[in-house]
Chain A
Amino acid sequence: MISVNNLKFSYQKEKSFHFPDIKLSDGEDLLIIGESGVGKTTLLHLMAGILKPERGSIVFDSVDITEIGKQSLDQFRGKNVGVVFQKSFFIRSLTVMENLLLVQNLAKVKQDKQRVESVLDQLGILDKRKNKPYSLSQGEQQRVSIAMAVLNKPKVLLADEPTASLDDKNCLKVLSLLKEEASLEKAHLVMITHDQRVKAHFKNQMEL
C-alpha cells in the first residue's frame, strides 16, 4: 500500500509544486501523465526518497519515508524502491552480473547469483551477464536497468519516461516487461510519462 498526502516541494521561492494525493492499494499500478515542467520527475524523486519534500507524507505500507533519517533512508530506498530512469546508467567498470551483485550489496541484501541469473533470464538477457553494460544495445541496456530496479524485490517500481525515446514496437515491449516484472515481484508500478501511447495500458491514471 502506498499513500502520498499533501505533498509540497519547492526548488526556489518562485517555483514550488503542490502534488495531488495518491493512494494505491496492493496490486495497483499508476500512470502519471503530464507535460514537461509540471514536476513529474520531482514527484518521482520524492517518492524514491532522493528529494525531501517541504511538507507532506509519503507512506510505504506503514513507513513514512519523509520521517526517516538520511542514513536509513538510503538503506530503505535500496531495499524498497526500484527506479528505472529514462536513460540507462551503469557502473562502467563492472560487468552486467557485477552491476547487479553491487545492487544487492548496496541494499545490504545477501548477494545471490542465482537470483541475479533468474532475473536476467526473465528479461531474456542471461547470455549478456559477462558483458560490460555499455557495450550492449539500447534495448538490452534498458532490460539491464529494469533487472537492477527489480532485483531486490522492491515495494514500488518507479519508471521515469522509460518509453520516451522508443518506437511503437519497442515501447510496447518495455511496457509489458515493466508490468510483468512488477507483478512478478509484487511491486506497484508507478510510471511517469508524457507519452500518450501508454495511456491505454493503465487502469489507474493521474494528470499533473
Chain B
Amino acid sequence: MNIFKLSVKNIVDRPLNTFLSLLLLALGVGLISLVLHISTIVEEQFEKNIKGIDMVTGAKGSPLQLILSSVLHIDDPTGNIELVEAKKLMQHPLVKKAIPLSYGDSHKGYRIVGTERSYLDLYEAKVAKGKIWEKSFEVTVGASVAKVLELDIGDHFFSTHGLVSVETAPGHEEHPFTVVGVLEPTNSVIDQLILTSLESVWEVHDHGNEHQESDDEHEKEEHMPHDDHEMHEEEHNHRYEEDKEITALLVKFRSPLGTIQIPRQINENTNMQAAVPSYEISRLFNLLGIGVETLKVLALAIILVSGISVFISLYNSLKERVYEMALMRTFGASKWQVFTLVVNEGLILSFLGFVFGTLGCYMALAILSHLSNNSFVFSFLDIINSKDTFFLFLLTIGVGVFSSIIPAFKALRVNISKTLGES
C-alpha cells in the first residue's frame, strides 16, 4: 500500500462520481480530438489531391462544383467543354502540362474517368498488378476500388450514369469494361477511381445516344454486332476532333503568372470557366471553419465542465475525508503526502479521461473510414504523434491538476489536533 495505490482505491471507492467525471472528460477529449483529426485528415487529403493542379477548366457553373467534381470527384460535373477549345488552351505558352478528363459515369458508386496517362503521374500512381489501359474499354482501377468491389484483372462490368451506386440506375449495358490493371494505394483520390482512355468514355456515350434513338433497330441488328461496332469506329474517326467533348482540363502553369492571367482570360473571353483549386478549397475550409470552431468550443466547454465535476467530486469527498487526512498525518504522513494524494486523484482521472477519449476518437475514425469505404486513410500512430494530441494531453492533465489543487490545499492545511480532538 502506498499513496498512489490509495489514490486509485479512493477513485474506485466512489464509482458514480468517477464515472461521471470520466464520461465528461472522455466525451470532451474525444470530441475535440475527432474534430481536429477529421479536419486535419480532410485538409491533408484535399491538399494532396490538388497538388500540381494550378487551374481547372470546365463548363460554366459553380467554380466550387467544378473543383469538387474534377479534382476530388465528389460532385457532379458542371457540363462538358469542346475538345477543340481545350486543345487551344493546351497550346498556350504559359501552360506546362494539361490533363483532359472525361467523366460522368460510374460503377457501383466509383467514378469512371477517361483521361491520359499523365493523370497517373500527377499522383505518382504505380501499377501494382497488370498494366495501364491501352485499348478502348480497358480500365485500370484504383487500390480502394479493387479492394472494396473485389475487382481483379480480367473482370468485366458495366457503367451507370452519374455517381449513384444503385443497381437500377440507368446504364450502358452494351459495352462492358475489362479490368486490365490495379494501381498501388496512393492515399489520394486516384484510389477511388476507375481509369480508362478518353476514347472509352466517348464511345460509351456515342453508342448510348445511338442506342436510345434506335432502340428497336438495334435489337434487330443484334445478330451482327461486329459490323455495328465497325460502323461506329468509322464514325468516331470522322467526328474525332470537331465534336468531341471533355468534362474538365487540369492545368499546370510554367510560372505563377499563368495563375494570375489565364483564369481571367478564360472566364471573360470563352464560354468555359476556369477555377483555381487552392482558392476554392480554402474558400470551402473557411465556410467549414465556422462549424469546426463551434465544435471545438463545445468540446472545450465539455472539458471545462468535466474539470468542475472532478473538482466537486474531490471537494465533496474531502469533507468526509478530513478525518482520513488527519489520521494519515498522525501515522506519519507529511503535509505533501496528503497533498499529493488528492492531486494524484485528479491526475489519474484526467489521464484516464484522456486515454478513453483518444481511444473513442480512434474508434470513431475507424468506423467513419470503414463507412466511407476507406476514402480516407489514417493510422493510430499518426494520432498519437500529432501535435494536437500532445496539446490536448497537456490540456487534460492541466484540467486535472487545476480541479484538484484547491481540495489538495485544503487537505494540506488540515488541522490534525482540531479534526481528531473535536469529533
Given contacts A50-B417, A91-B6, 10 further A-B contacts (CB under 8 A): A50-B330, A51-B417, A74-B332, A74-B333, A77-B332, A78-B332, A91-B327, A92-B13, A92-B320, A93-B13
Q: Is B319 an interface residue (CB 8 A)?
A: no
Q: Is A33 an interface residue (CB 8 A)?
A: no
Q: Is A18 an interface residue (CB 8 A)?
A: no
Interface hits, B302-331 → A, CB 8 Å: 320-321, 323-324, 326-331
Interface 1/0 per residue, B322-351 and A, CB below 8 Å:
011011111111110100000000000000
How far does the alpha carbon of A95 sit from the alpha carbon of B320 in the complex, in Å?
17
A106/B10 in contact, CB under 8 A: no
Q: Which residues of A contact B332 (CB under 8 A)?
A: 74-75, 77-79, 106-108
Interface hits, B405-423 → A, CB 8 Å: 416-417, 420-421, 423
Q: Is B2 an interface residue (CB 8 A)?
A: yes
A103/B6 in contact, CB under 8 A: no
Interface hits, B1-50 → A, CB 8 Å: 1-3, 6, 9-10, 12-13
Q: Which residues of B contact A42 (CB under 8 A)?
A: 417, 421
Q: Which residues of B contact A108 (CB under 8 A)?
A: 332
Contact partner, A41, options B9, B324, B328, B421, Cβ 8 Å: B421
9 closest Cβ pairs, A-B complex: A78-B332, A93-B13, A101-B1, A107-B332, A93-B9, A106-B332, A102-B1, A89-B327, A45-B417
Q: Which residues of A contact B10 (CB under 8 A)?
A: 93
| Size of the chain A interface, CB-CB below 8 angstroms | 34
Q: Which residues of A contact B1 (CB under 8 A)?
A: 94, 98, 101-102, 104-105, 111
Q: Which of B3, B9, B321 has the most CB of A within 10 A?
A: B9
| Given known A-B contacts A92-B13, A93-B12, A93-B13, A74 and B329 have beta carbons under 8 A apart | yes
Interface hits, A82-120 → B, CB 8 Å: 83, 85-87, 89-94, 98, 101-108, 111
B327/A78 in contact, CB under 8 A: no
Q: Is A191 an interface residue (CB 8 A)?
A: no
How far does the alpha carbon of A85 sit from the alpha carbon of B330 in the complex, in Å?
11
Q: Which residues of A contact B6 (CB under 8 A)?
A: 91, 93-94, 102
| A→B interface (CB under 8 Å) | 41-42, 45, 48, 50-51, 70-71, 74-75, 77-79, 83, 85-87, 89-94, 98, 101-108, 111, 148
A77/B330 in contact, CB under 8 A: yes
Shortest Cβ distance from A132 into B: residue: B13
How far does the alpha carbon of A208 sit from the alpha carbon of B332 in the complex, in Å?
28
Q: Which residues of B contact A51 (CB under 8 A)?
A: 417
| Nearest CB of A to B133, in Å | 70
Contact partner, B328, options A50, A86, A104, A106, Cβ 8 Å: A106
| Nearest CB of A to B378, in Å | 40
Main secondary structure of the interface of B (DSSP, over half): helix
| Size of the chain B interface, CB-CB below 8 angstroms | 28
Contact partner, B421, options A45, A74, A92, Cβ 8 Å: A45
A90/B327 in contact, CB under 8 A: yes
25 A-B residue pairings within 8 Å (CB atoms): A41-B417, A42-B417, A45-B417, A50-B330, A50-B416, A70-B335, A71-B334, A74-B335, A75-B332, A77-B330, A77-B332, A78-B332, A83-B330, A87-B423, A89-B323, A90-B327, A91-B324, A92-B321, A93-B6, A93-B10, A102-B6, A103-B331, A104-B1, A105-B1, A105-B2
Q: Which of B2, B327, B332, B337 has the most CB of A within 10 A?
A: B332
Q: Which residues of B contact A79 (CB under 8 A)?
A: 332
Shortest Cβ distance from A151 into B: residue: B331
How far does the alpha carbon of A50 sit from the alpha carbon of B323 in the complex, in Å?
14
B420/A89 in contact, CB under 8 A: yes
Q: Which residues of B contact A103 (CB under 8 A)?
A: 331
How far does the alpha carbon of A77 sit from the alpha carbon of B330 in the complex, in Å?
7
How far does the alpha carbon of A51 sit from the alpha carbon of B329 in the complex, in Å?
12
Shortest Cβ distance from B3 into A: residue: A105
How far does the alpha carbon of A42 sit from the alpha carbon of B416 in the complex, in Å?
12
A94/B9 in contact, CB under 8 A: yes
| Nearest CB of A to B8, in Å | 9
Q: Which residues of B contact A75 (CB under 8 A)?
A: 332, 334
Q: Which residues of A contact B326 (CB under 8 A)?
A: 89
B331/A107 in contact, CB under 8 A: yes
Interface 1/0 per residue, B135-150 and A, CB below 8 Å:
0000000000000000
How far does the alpha carbon of A48 sit from the alpha carbon of B335 in the complex, in Å?
16
How far does the alpha carbon of A70 sit from the alpha carbon of B412 in the complex, in Å?
13
How far does the alpha carbon of A105 sit from the alpha carbon of B10 in the complex, in Å?
17
B323/A148 in contact, CB under 8 A: no
| Nearest CB of B to A86, in Å | 8
How far does the alpha carbon of A98 sit from the alpha carbon of B7 in the complex, in Å?
13
How far does the alpha carbon of A175 sit from the alpha carbon of B104 in the complex, in Å?
96
Shortest Cβ distance from A80 into B: residue: B332
Q: Which residues of A contact B321 (CB under 8 A)?
A: 92
How far does the alpha carbon of A71 sit from the alpha carbon of B13 in the complex, in Å?
30
Q: Which residues of A contact B335 (CB under 8 A)?
A: 70, 74
Q: Which residues of A contact B333 (CB under 8 A)?
A: 74, 78, 106
| Nearest CB of B to A95, in Å | 9
Contact partner, A98, options B9, B327, B334, Cβ 8 Å: B9
Q: Which residues of A contact B12 (CB under 8 A)?
A: 93
Shortest Cβ distance from A48 into B: residue: B330
Q: Which residues of B contact A83 (CB under 8 A)?
A: 330
How far does the alpha carbon of A102 sit from the alpha carbon of B328 in the complex, in Å?
9
Q: Which residues of A contact B421 (CB under 8 A)?
A: 41-42, 45
Q: Which of A75, A77, A148 has the most CB of B within 10 A?
A: A77
| Nearest CB of B to A88, in Å | 10
| Nearest CB of A to B418, in Å | 9
Q: Which of B1, B13, B337 has the most CB of A within 10 A?
A: B1
How far does the alpha carbon of A106 sit from the alpha carbon of B10 in the complex, in Å?
17
